[in-house]
């Protein structure tokens, strides 16, 4: 699990291996990650876009950018949270993800909320 706080926006991520979407023989390892974005500031803030940096155990890096998350751009009032689950596929049995969400407060002054690095790994490779 990873947690990061930026300007009152708390981002927490948990990941897990998805064996039913994976194929070891094809070198496709699927991982789900659940993200919780909590607005602990005093200003309503909207998630504008995302930037993910996905690195597999071989050092291959893939960057993903796009508007919102899972098709929405949630607007969070103070004290509200938004949670979603997504997934990715790696060519190795472990890796790491990190990134940012571009956040836009109602009062202006967009900023990048950090998504702290978190591991993607088969259960037996966590140690």
Digit-by-digit pLDDT tens for the chain (127 residues) are: 999 999 999 999 999 999 999 998 999 999 999 999 999 999 999 999 999 999 999 999 999 999 999 999 999 999 999 999 999 999 999 999 999 999 999 999 999 999 999 999 998 755 4
CATH number of the domain at 18, please: 2.60.40.1470
Number of domains the chain contains: 1
Residue 79, exposed/middle/buried by CB under 10 A (0-12, 13-18, 19+)?
exposed
- Where in the sequence is the domain holding 51, given as residue range(s)? 2-125
């Amino acid at each position: 699990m990873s947690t990061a706080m930026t300007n009152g926006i708390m981002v927490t991520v948990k990941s897990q291996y998805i064996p039913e979407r994976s194929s070891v023989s094809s070198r496709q390892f699927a991982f789900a990650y659940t993200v919780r974005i909590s607005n602990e500031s005093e200003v309503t803030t909207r998630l504008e876009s995302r930037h993910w940096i996905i690195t597999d155990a071989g050092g291959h890096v893939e960057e993903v950018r796009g508007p919102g998350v899972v098709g929405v751009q949630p607007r969070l009032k103070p004290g509200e949270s938004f949670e979603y689950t997504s997934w990715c596929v790696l060519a190795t049995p472990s890796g790491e993800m990190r990134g940012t969400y571009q956040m836009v407060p109602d009062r202006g002054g967009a900023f990048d909320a950090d998504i702290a690095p978190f591991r993607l790994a088969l259960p037996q490779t966590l140690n």
